[in-house]
Structure 1
Amino acid sequence: MTRHVVSRLPCDTGTSGWEAIGERSFTLKPLEGDITADWLIIGAGFAGLSAARRLSSLRPADRIVILEAREVAKGPAGRNSGFMIDVPHNLSAGEYSVADETVTAAEIRQNRLAINFARNIAEEFGMSREVFDPSGKVNAAASARGMELNDKYARSLGRIGEAHTLLDAEQMREMTGSHYYRGGLHTPGAVMIQPARYIRTLAAGLQPKVCVHEHSPVLELSKAGRDWIAKSSRGSVTAPKVILGVNGHIESFGHFAGRLLHIFTYASMTKAFSKDEFGPGVSGNDRWALLPADPMGATVRKVTSEGRSRIVIRTRFTYDPALKVSEQRVAHIAAEQRKSFDGRFPEMAGLPMDYSWAGALCLSKNHVPAFGEIEDGLYSACCENGLGTVKSTLAGMMAADLATGSGCAELEQYRNQPEPSRLPPQPFAWLGVNSVIRFQELRAGREG
């Protein structure tokens, strides 16, 4: 009998502002007792909920159960910056420039497949523009190097026929209210989401067709005959097929060990403020979304609801193979983010930060997912390579197609990838990865 004792459970540090300001509309329902299902999905993030959505369409009569270790939207799915990006966005490359045109075209096609899947969800479940906003995104440049990176990215997008618009300093100031930026590059295909509200709305919309059990961590996963048995603290689920949507925690289930990079990034969200609190135009339009021209720089978003706005700033990356970071680390980086925010918005200097938090990413050295049937009846939809909203949505869709044998046209191409390549042994991996990250962050300079 195959038996996996789960070695680590999720540990999320700090309160995500997205989760804190987003309402919840369904009752918490931990697993109680022993149940059976046709399908078990472990993890209620973008991958797990997307897999459940796809399964409920492909197998409407089947019983689908999701086990979530914590609460929906309190984990990494509710801790990201909310960018659903269609064009190339490889964090590990040090810049966003397009690679091989055939590979790039396939990646864009897959990203847009996932975005369209999410768009259908948003339409069906009545998500407002505050939750799902097809506004595009801007790569903001604050330095000469940032301007050069944007120009290079624009040229590479032009070579493959992708729409884009270069913005000057005045256009950036009109958008953001800040004199900090020298220019920007707008691409129209991205969607901005409020990640916690998107995830919660999707989880609510799937019920009661899909049964979601929160505060139900899987402690052991074993195979008995044709069935898998997932044991939690107060019950178990028996099902012939299981989809793992646990991102980097796939290693905690005994798979892909020594092949995944566990990266944490950090964010802070300001206190809500009114349009006139700091004078007209100080923070620009009601909503805007900036990625840094240098991938290691600062991501900045402004959101507005009922006349009250907040700004989110995300900076810094760390490699933490233990899959957890300390409160002290979050507090230290929040102090750095305070300076970064004040530099961009000096008229708003001192505006309190209501929330600061860390969020986990999972990357592979060769930029491929941890995907496929990893044991008989056990499927992995993990390793989002730094773009969890889109890549995890896609992985969940593809895992459902693979597991049901009713794959879409993209499945064969998606599954025909190498497995994540091996990392150097510890402590060499830790020293090497963190050294590269720190060098790239220092090189980003004013972009951070």
Structure 2
Amino acid sequence: MSNHQAVRTPADTSMPGWYGILPPPKAPEVLRGRHRADWLIVGAGFAGLAAARRLSQLVPNERIVLVDAQRVGWGAAGRNSGFMIDLPHELGSENYGGSQDHDRKRIRMNRAAIEFSASAADEYGLQRFFVRAGKFHGAATDHGLAVLRDFENHLTGLAEPFERLDGPQLKQITGTDFFIGGTFTPGTVMAQPAGFIRGLAEGLSSRVQLFENSPVTSVTTGKLHTVKTPEGEISAPRLILTVNGHLESFGFFKKRLLHVFTYASMTRSLSKREQAVLGGAPQWGLIPADPMGSTLRRIDDRIVVRNTFTYNPDMSTSDKQIRRIGASHDRSYRARFPMLGEIPLEFRWGGHLCLSLNSAPAFGEVEERVFVAGCCNGLGTVQGTLYGMLAADLAARSNEPMLADALNEPAPVRLYPEPIMSIGAPLKLWAMHRRAGREL
């Protein structure tokens, strides 16, 4: 038996735009009193809901309970850019790619996760939140074009399709002449992340009991694992922790997880006249040539801009930090869409990413019948889904072939000692942002 006291619990600030444009959810069910279950999952993001759905398929007659510290879609799952990417996407890489053997395995696993999500979208009628639109990479500089040529060469070596676009072709899609060239890849799904996650939770509600606004303050493991919240507790023989970077809050993978925040802003609704002035397609997503540049999305009558990464080892940001970085969003937005004038950005938010120095996930059985799926390395939509469903397969002792691939991956390596991390990580991010230049 061991006891894990939570050092901190999720407490995200500032409403994410994806959540804010949805209708208000129904009142949450908070965990109160004592409960028993056959399966308990902590964390209702992409990983936790994937694990819950997979368990509902593997053990349909057993009681599955899911607990989250906040409202579904309010936390990190509803704060990302909504790209479910099938191809290599290494944030620390010059051109997103890695070794060919590693990338082929990653593509196969990412696509399995996308298809798992696609089947959920079909089952629960979530197609409006899950669009197979592909993604654009946009270059604003000659250096960016050179990076995209390297990326295209890597895709050619992987026998993956792509389309090269010039500046005018990108303008036809985005409405802006900011980019001088780009690359289109067809396999990415563009999700409305909060809408998809909330819809998935609602679709599972007949098979999975969900408690929200119920932060777990301690986990005691043993023959029965017991988690406690401020108002209740629940015990189960099998526990799956899908809390991404907050695995470290419970004492798992200590000094191995790198906590980074990234930030986004969303415009108010564009009027019909403003949409006509902008032109372009009504829905698209664009990733910068440089991984540290600005990501853009248009979703009907709104535009989202996301950029800037900060090192936040306490796993939190502040309204002040969000407002400060929002000023850079304003500059990036105006540089790309000057034709729209001073349209205010209605929502601003930050979201927690968990990375490891060797880009490895936190996955596996960490104590007897305690399973984890986290450290998604900036790809929470697709890799959270992947490792969540595989955690369920591992816990249920299924014969899923991808389990061997996941279990053979390295574990996150130890971070550098202090003060190297607290000094070096911000400096590294500063240098990477500076390298991005006009792409930012």
Q: Is 1:302 equivalent to 2:298 in the alignment?
A: yes
One-letter amino acid of the counterpart of residue 147, structure 1: L
**Mapping 1:24-423, distance limit 5 Å:** 24=24, 26-97=26-97, 99-129=98-128, 131-224=129-222, 226-277=223-274, 280-304=276-300, 309-423=301-415
CA offsets per residue over residues 95-151 of structure 1, 9 Å max, x none? 213x3222111000000000000000011111133x111000001111111111111
CA offsets per residue over residues 84-105 of structure 1, 9 Å max, x none? 00000010223213x3222111
Given that 2:11 and 2:70 are in contact with CA atoms closer than 8 Å, whether structure 1 keeps it comes out as no
Given that 1:23 and 1:197 are in contact with CA atoms closer than 8 Å, whether structure 2 keeps it comes out as no
Given that 2:239 and 2:369 are in contact with CA atoms closer than 8 Å, whether structure 1 keeps it comes out as yes
Question: What SS class does the counterpart of residue 277 from structure 1 fall into?
Answer: helix
Question: What SS class does the counterpart of residue 316 from structure 1 fall into?
Answer: strand
Shift of 1:25: 5.3
Question: What SS class does the counterpart of residue 104 from structure 2 fall into?
Answer: helix
CA offsets per residue over residues 214-259 of structure 1, 9 Å max, x none? 01111111024x1101011111110001000000000001110000
Identity value in percent: 45
- Rounded to whole Å, the distance in 2 between the matches of 1:163 and 1:39 is 41
CA offsets per residue over residues 406-425 of structure 1, 9 Å max, x none? 03111111111221000112
Question: What SS class does the counterpart of residue 336 from structure 1 fall into?
Answer: helix
Given that 1:33 and 1:234 are in contact with CA atoms closer than 8 Å, whether structure 2 keeps it comes out as yes
Given that 2:274 and 2:340 are in contact with CA atoms closer than 8 Å, whether structure 1 keeps it comes out as no
One-letter amino acid of the counterpart of residue 50, structure 1: A
Which stretches in structure 2 are left out of the alignment for 5+ residues? none
Question: What SS class does the counterpart of residue 276 from structure 1 fall into?
Answer: helix
Question: What SS class does the counterpart of residue 88 from structure 2 fall into?
Answer: coil
TM-score normalised by the chain length of structure 1: 0.97
One-letter amino acid of the counterpart of residue 117, structure 2: A
Shift of 1:22: 1.6
Shift of 1:377: 1.0
Question: What SS class does the counterpart of residue 273 from structure 1 fall into?
Answer: coil
Identify which range, 227-236 or 280-289, moves more after superposition: 280-289
Q: Is 1:437 equivalent to 2:429 in the alignment?
A: yes
Question: What SS class does the counterpart of residue 373 from structure 1 fall into?
Answer: strand
- Rounded to whole Å, the distance in 2 between the matches of 1:68 and 1:344 is 38
Question: What SS class does the counterpart of residue 265 from structure 1 fall into?
Answer: strand
TM-score normalised by the chain length of structure 2: 0.98
Given that 1:94 and 1:440 are in contact with CA atoms closer than 8 Å, whether structure 2 keeps it comes out as no
- Rounded to whole Å, the distance in 2 between the matches of 1:273 and 1:282 is 10
One-letter amino acid of the counterpart of residue 3, structure 1: N
- Rounded to whole Å, the distance in 2 between the matches of 1:239 and 1:262 is 30
Counterparts in 2 of 1:174 and 1:92: CA distance versus 1, 3 Å: same
Given that 2:172 and 2:281 are in contact with CA atoms closer than 8 Å, whether structure 1 keeps it comes out as yes
CA offsets per residue over residues 411-441 of structure 1, 9 Å max, x none? 1111112210001122211211111111111
- Rounded to whole Å, the distance in 2 between the matches of 1:93 and 1:433 is 16
One-letter amino acid of the counterpart of residue 435, structure 2: R
Given that 1:13 and 1:330 are in contact with CA atoms closer than 8 Å, whether structure 2 keeps it comes out as no
Question: What SS class does the counterpart of residue 397 from structure 1 fall into?
Answer: helix
- Rounded to whole Å, the distance in 2 between the matches of 1:349 and 1:281 is 11
RMSD over aligned CA atoms reads: 1.1
Question: How many matched pairs?
Answer: 440
Given that 1:266 and 1:330 are in contact with CA atoms closer than 8 Å, whether structure 2 keeps it comes out as yes
- Rounded to whole Å, the distance in 1 between the matches of 2:285 and 2:263 is 17
- Rounded to whole Å, the distance in 2 between the matches of 1:355 and 1:400 is 35
Question: What SS class does the counterpart of residue 73 from structure 1 fall into?
Answer: coil
- Rounded to whole Å, the distance in 2 between the matches of 1:350 and 1:427 is 43
Question: What SS class does the counterpart of residue 127 from structure 2 fall into?
Answer: coil
Given that 2:293 and 2:439 are in contact with CA atoms closer than 8 Å, whether structure 1 keeps it comes out as yes
Given that 1:283 and 1:345 are in contact with CA atoms closer than 8 Å, whether structure 2 keeps it comes out as no
- Rounded to whole Å, the distance in 1 between the matches of 2:368 and 2:341 is 56
Identify which range, 41-50 or 86-95, moves more after superposition: 86-95
Identify which range, 22-31 or 401-410, moves more after superposition: 22-31
Given that 1:110 and 1:410 are in contact with CA atoms closer than 8 Å, whether structure 2 keeps it comes out as yes
